[in-house]
Structure 1
Amino acid sequence: MCGRYAATKDPATLAAEFDAVDETDSYQPRADYNVAPTKEEVTVVQRHPRDEEGNPDPDRTVRSLRVMRWGLVPFWAKDKSIGAKMINARVESVASKPAFKSSLAKRRCLVPADGWYEWRKDGGTKQPYFMTTTNGASIAFAGLWSTWRDKADEEAEPLVTYTVLTTDALGQLSDIHNRMPLMLPRESWADWLDPDREDVEDLLTSPSLELVSALELRPVSSAVNSVRNNGPELLARYEPAPDLDDPALFDVDDSSRR
């Protein structure tokens, strides 16, 4: 799964990296080292621009940065609170789930991230890891988005939300957790974002082992467990102290004395 990630780059940097127009408007960006569900974050979409009357231009598309809230709220939902349960969508079932299938066909996005957190069970404890690139490039999660309107308040602004697709973990990542975000390589971005392409089944395949093997799996402090903590120290490598009660630490081979 993907329940926490880091997004520290400003919109200008992301616009250059994703070849997109910055349409985050009045959004006040700040580096977020502990992105949690229901937070607002920058995503990348590609749409047909509309004229003053709202008609789309069928001959042109624009790739842009948009601010959305994490946790997809389907357009037909009665209450927006359902979004807290829809932060992830499984690639195995996303095409058939009522909450996601419309967005899969028509409303796909990229979710830029510095990396994501996952917790590995080590005995009775859970050790958090930060999965990130080694060259500073953003990871692009495959995402879906939707627009929800409150029928009880017609004057309220529409709520735009997103979810992150997940798939079976591969390679070294499977040692940490059995699921991982669906990472899209740069060469797949255009196809994934293409608003005129409805059949994307071939893009729901697992990322290459080469892409996964290039990641750094960095143990970090358990401070990330609390969403109240948010700073660059969360990304620092943390080596837990050895368990002095572990007999394996004192298993000395003294056969040479015989």
Structure 2
Amino acid sequence: MTTEFFGLVAGLFSYRQVNPMCGRFALFSLPSTLARRFGTDTIPGMEARYNIAPSQSIFIIRTEGDRRRFATAHWGLIPFWAKDARIGYSMINARAETVAEKPAFRTSFKQRRCLIPADGFYEWQALPGAKTKQPWFISLRNREPMAFAGLWERWNSPEGRAVESCSIIVTAANNLMQPIHERMPVILAPDDWNIWLAPHLSNADRLLDLLQPYPDEEMTAWPVSTKVNSPKNDSEECIEASA
């Protein structure tokens, strides 16, 4: 995968509006913290990101052999059978209710599951009478990095390039999220990580049982500035509470 190719894809998937589900998140914990949290090797050179948007390259965690390892993937899953990479823009999220049957996701759901690490995510709240939605940042109450349930796929372009891409699974909002948005990413509890990553587990019912709203009492949220609306803004200011 070349830098030029990802630049082309980013142009095709230019992020023009806030996505109606999970369309932005942040990952800013130290590499050593992430390695401890997820039981992986430390990744040299990992930089803090406060406004990660679709079409960008993001970190995923998957099982390779008997170990969890970090990898990078394009955010916007491109099914292996796709003729055009542009399909990936509409595949940044997979609905928990249909992920096992939808053609774009069902093979990955059976065979290529991953964790997507994050320190928190953003959602936009529609306010009565307001033209602009209010962005919120949502994190775990203990401020530990969280793990979204993810899928990944490998696609070969017509030119022969191998592109790895991914999607975040979303589900119904919990009580904390409901006043903000009707959907939220599936956050997996640490005790469920090994089950989700198990390469030979394909029991759909067992996997679907994991795709539940995270306990709201273990989460927190606060309103932030509309600076996050533009993916060009990628600094700690994006997560600061707004006045």
Give distance in 1, aligned partners of 2:156 and 2:241: 43
Q: Contact 2:184/2:213 (CA < 8 Å) preserved in 1? A: no
* 2:70 equivalent to 1:78: no
Give distance in 2, aligned partners of 1:213 and 1:176: 16
1:182-239, Cα deviation, whole Å (9 max, x unpaired): 1100010000000010114333345466x32221111001111111111001111113
Of 130, 141, 148, the match for 1:134 = 141
Q: Contact 2:173/2:213 (CA < 8 Å) preserved in 1? A: no
Give distance in 1, aligned partners of 2:165 and 2:195: 21
Structure 1 residue 168, shift from structure 2 partner: 0.6
* Residues 160 and 232 (structure 1), Cα distance of their counterparts in 2 relative to 1, 3 Å cut: same
Structure 1 residue 74, shift from structure 2 partner: 0.7
Give distance in 1, aligned partners of 2:141 and 2:227: 22
Aligned to 2:13: none
Unaligned runs of 5+ in 2: 1-20
Structure 1 residue 8, shift from structure 2 partner: 1.2
* 2:126 partner SS: strand
CA radius of gyration, larger in: 1
Aligned to 2:6: none
Of 23, 36, 52, the match for 1:3 = 23
Structure 1 residue 17, shift from structure 2 partner: 1.1
Structure 1 residue 69, shift from structure 2 partner: 1.1
1:198-213 → structure 2 map (5 Å cutoff): 198-205=202-209, 206-207=211-212, 211-213=215-217
Give distance in 2, aligned partners of 1:14 and 1:140: 11
Structure 1 residue 7, shift from structure 2 partner: 1.0
Of 133, 155, 159, the match for 1:153 = 159
Of 25, 30, 33, the match for 1:13 = 33
Q: Give the AA of the match of 2:170.
A: T
Aligned to 1:196: 200
* Residues 15 and 200 (structure 1), Cα distance of their counterparts in 2 relative to 1, 3 Å cut: farther
Q: Give the AA of the match of 1:163.
A: S
Structure 1 residue 16, shift from structure 2 partner: 1.9
Give the fraction of aligned pairs with identical amino acids, expressed as a percent: 39
Aligned to 2:178: 174
Q: Contact 2:134/2:226 (CA < 8 Å) preserved in 1? A: yes
Give distance in 2, aligned partners of 1:194 and 1:226: 37
Q: Contact 1:11/1:65 (CA < 8 Å) preserved in 2? A: no
Aligned to 1:56: none
Of 33, 36, 40, the match for 2:53 = 36
Q: Give the AA of the match of 2:140.
A: T
Q: Give the AA of the match of 1:7.
A: L
Q: Give the AA of the match of 2:159.
A: D
Q: How many residues align?
A: 220
Give distance in 1, aligned partners of 2:154 and 2:159: 15
Give distance in 2, aligned partners of 1:200 and 1:44: 21
Give distance in 1, aligned partners of 2:239 and 2:41: 29
1:60-99 → structure 2 map (5 Å cutoff): 61-99=66-104
* 1:217 partner SS: strand
Unaligned runs of 5+ in 1: 49-60, 240-258
CA RMSD in angstroms comes to 1.6
- TM-score normalized by the length of structure 2: 0.85
